[in-house]
Amino acid sequence: MILNAAIARAGAEGLLGEFELELFVGAGAYICGEETALIESLEGKRGIVRAKPPLPAVAGLHGQPTLVHNVITLCAVPWIVANGGEAYSRIGIGASTGTMPFQLSGNVKYGGLVEVPFGMTINQLLETFSGGTASGRPIKAVQIGGPLGAYLPPQLFDTPLTYEALAGVGAGIGHGGIIVFDDTTDLAEQARYAFTFCEHESCGKCTPCRIGSVRGGELIDEIRDQGAEPERITLLHDLCNTMRDASLCQMGGMTPIPVESALKHFPRDFGLEEI
Amino acid sequence: MRLADEDFGTPATNAREDVNLEINGEAVSVPAGTSIMRAALSSGIPIPKLCATDSIDAFGSCRMCLVQIEGRNGFVSSCTEPVAEGLKVTTQNEALAKLRRSVMELYISDHPLDCLTCADNGDCELQDVAGQVGLREVRYAGGASHAEAETDESNPYFSYDPSKCIVCSRCVRACEEVQGTFALTIDGRGFASRVATGAENFFDSECVSCGACVQACPTATLMEKSVIAHGVPDRSIDTTCAYCGVGCSFKAEMKGDQVIRMVPAKDGKANHGHSCVKGRFAWGVRQPPGTHHRTHDPR
């Protein structure tokens, strides 16, 4: 409604030039954020992932060349057109140029959207904007980049929010979501949630994601209920490797990230000794 | 003994120019647009596969056919990746073997272990590939499964047992691409995904019983009732369907002198591996039970 009204107004004011904007409302599946599933959905089909190649830029919507961009990317375009690419590349740091809208949520006093240049550390962002935890308790972890993002402990909060630095600690910037958890959080439960999420949102096309997400959840239940026997932990790692390397898209491919990062940084929550 | 034709995984291309690449150090030359899978299989280099069959387009869902390409990160499904000049492909190493075994372990964690009494025993691609990748154990303990899913026996010629389905979509795609009827789809999402028709069962659906789905199914999920009753055929005779003037080529798959099933011949000039309900299933009229021979005694 809001977007359609905005599009109508922009059109009426002549701001769109020769462009036509049309809003297509999906049915709510997370997987339809994946570009090829999004195209299937736009074509009125089930939202399942297409194998690539061909890339959508070669054969996408109705088989025609199609560019798929995030809203964040499109929003950066007018500024770049107005001020030039060089000016844009001076914002941010290293290869992470420009700004990123971070979404602070979870256990924070002040949640919301803040757009800052790439390069602030996690600590700086939290200290500047979050006002600490809503519960008043110490922070135990943040999850960065969405439900398939890594869980990081406070020891890593001096990591700059850039593509390169986060990759260096096994994390990614993803969509810029930052969820804060206090010290009452059980990270094994969060790892379980990653599989639950994948199980619910998997399109079901490829086997590592379709069956792996279910088996992963069951395995973590076993680890939590019956103990972190070495065979169970080995199987969990094997499953994570299989999902990462063999999944058709990043839905199954990235589900191991929250699981493995929780296991790495918070082994005690799984009943394991610190490594 | 397998009666099935050789399966190169993906359809041939019409391209005239050839592309040269290396697979496991062997020089291979195939027409442009050929998949890495077809290039390998047609050169005698095996690649495990489940969701690929050369009567339909590549789909890339089973992840058994992963290969590695020099200079590229990660693993590539060889069915969906076309050849390119100078590619250096590895189809077998320790990492690939482990991945394939792990994916197979996931498949079998939701598959009944009744091979010995299964109608597809000896003719099952899942069984073959489990052997091919060397699966030795399934470490997942029970958990969610489709073991209790009910079999749909509504079609007079074949049954649909969802508990054996590996969701490769070969039946759905065969219905679309080979027959063009679009009677099948995948219903549900994620683990709940199962083959379904638009109706309550196969018989009440748009299905025209052409049998393309049964032929495409790599497991006993879609199975000719005649094979369930008599077992996998052991020899095959080339023949031509006499029902109409099209002259479809068939393989009459036999046990002794009894026809067990009629399978459309892939190299049939009139039908290219396709059939209709009459040639595929309604051949009982040619071989009535007992001594009554209709052509001799048309009562």
ipTM for this prediction:
0.94
pLDDT of residue B297: 67
Partners of A59 on chain B (C-beta within 8 Å) are none
- Reported as a single tens digit per residue, the pLDDT across B15-74 is 999 999 999 999 999 999 999 999 999 999 999 999 999 999 999 999 999 999 999 999
| Residue B296 binned pLDDT confidence (cut-offs 50, 70, 90) | low
- Reported as a single tens digit per residue, the pLDDT across A62-75 is 999 999 999 889 99
pTM above 0.90, yes or no: yes
| Residue B288 binned pLDDT confidence (cut-offs 50, 70, 90) | low
Strand partners, A144: A150, A178
Question: Among B76, B19, A240, which Cα is nearest to A232's?
Answer: A240
Inspect the interface and report whether the beta carbons of B139 and A210 lie closer than 8 Å. Answer: no
Please give the residue of chain B at the shortest CA–CA distance from A239: B102
| Residue B151 binned pLDDT confidence (cut-offs 50, 70, 90) | very high
Judged against a pLDDT cut of 60, whether residue B79 lies above it is answered with: yes
| Residue B246 binned pLDDT confidence (cut-offs 50, 70, 90) | very high
pLDDT of residue B4: 80
Contact B220, B118 (CB under 8 A): yes
Q: Nearest CA to CA, how far is B17 from chain A (Å)?
A: 20
Partners of B189 on chain A (C-beta within 8 Å) are 29, 46, 202-204
Judged against a pLDDT cut of 70, whether residue B289 lies above it is answered with: no
Partners of B68 on chain A (C-beta within 8 Å) are none
- Reported as a single tens digit per residue, the pLDDT across A160-189 is 999 999 999 999 999 999 999 999 999 999
Q: Nearest CA to CA, how far is A41 from chain B (Å)?
A: 14
Alpha-carbon distance of A250 to A244, in angstroms, equals 8
Scan for tokens 């005779």, then name that residue.
B237
Task: List residues of chain B with CB under 8 Å from any CB of chain A.
Answer: 58-63, 66, 74-75, 77, 80-82, 95, 99, 102-103, 106-107, 109-110, 139-141, 143-144, 166-167, 169, 185-186, 188-193
Alpha-carbon distance of B184 to B206, in angstroms, equals 8
Judged against a pLDDT cut of 60, whether residue B1 lies above it is answered with: no
- Reported as a single tens digit per residue, the pLDDT across A174-228 is 999 999 999 999 999 999 999 999 999 999 999 999 999 999 999 999 999 999 9
A–B CB contacts, 8 A cutoff, strictly below: 105
- Reported as a single tens digit per residue, the pLDDT across A104-155 is 999 999 999 999 999 999 999 999 999 999 999 999 999 999 999 999 999 9
Question: Among B243, B177, B163, B176, which Cα is nearest to B206's?
Answer: B176
- Reported as a single tens digit per residue, the pLDDT across A38-59 is 999 999 999 999 999 999 999 9
The bridge status of strand A112-117 relative to strand A99-106 is antiparallel
Instruction: For helices A230-246 and B94-108, give the axis angle rounded to 10 degrees.
Output: 100
Q: Which H/E stretch holds residue A91?
A: none
The bridge status of strand B26-31 relative to strand A99-106 is unpaired
Inspect the interface and report whether the beta carbons of A215 and B61 lie closer than 8 Å. Answer: no
Inspect the interface and report whether the beta carbons of B80 and A215 lie closer than 8 Å. Answer: no
Burial class, A107, CB count within 10 angstroms (exposed 0-12 / middle 13-18 / buried 19+)? buried
pLDDT > 90: what percent of chain B? 90
Chain Cα centroid distance, residue A116: 18
Inspect the interface and report whether the beta carbons of B103 and A204 lie closer than 8 Å. Answer: no
When pLDDT is averaged across residues B186-202 and rounded to a whole number, the result is: 96
The amino acid at residue A38 is L
Helix (H, G, I), strand (E, B) or coil at A205: coil
Instruction: Please tell me the total number of residues recorded for chain B in this structure.
Output: 299
Alpha-carbon distance of B222 to B211, in angstroms, equals 9
DSSP, residue by residue, chain B? ---SPP--SSPPP---SEEEEEETTEEEEEETT-BHHHHHHTTT-----SS--TTS-----S-TTEEEETT--S-EETTTPBP-TT-EEE--SHHHHHHHHHHHHHHHTTS---GGG-TTTTS-HHHHHHHHHT-----S-S-S--TTPPPB--SSSEEE-GGG-----HHHHHIIIII----EEEESSGGG-EEEESSSSSTTSS-----HHHHH-SSSSEEEHHHHHH-S--EEEEEE--SSTT--EEEEEEETTEEEEEEE-TT-TTTTT---HHHHTGGGGGS-STT--TTTS--
Alpha-carbon distance of A103 to A126, in angstroms, equals 11
pLDDT > 90: what percent of chain A? 94
Alpha-carbon distance of B170 to B180, in angstroms, equals 13
pLDDT of residue B3: 80
Q: Nearest CA to CA, how far is A95 from chain B (Å)?
A: 20
Chosen for mutation from B72, B104, B133, B139 (greatest number of chain A CBs closer than 10 Å) is B139
Inspect the interface and report whether the beta carbons of A218 and B143 lie closer than 8 Å. Answer: yes
When pLDDT is averaged across residues B72-82 and rounded to a whole number, the result is: 97
The minimal CB distance from A51 to the residues B77, B107, B167 is found for B77
Alpha-carbon distance of A88 to B45, in angstroms, equals 51
Q: Residues 6 or more apart from B144 whose CB is under 8 A from it? A: A214, A218, B110, B191
How many CB atoms lie under 10 A from the CB of residue B79?
28
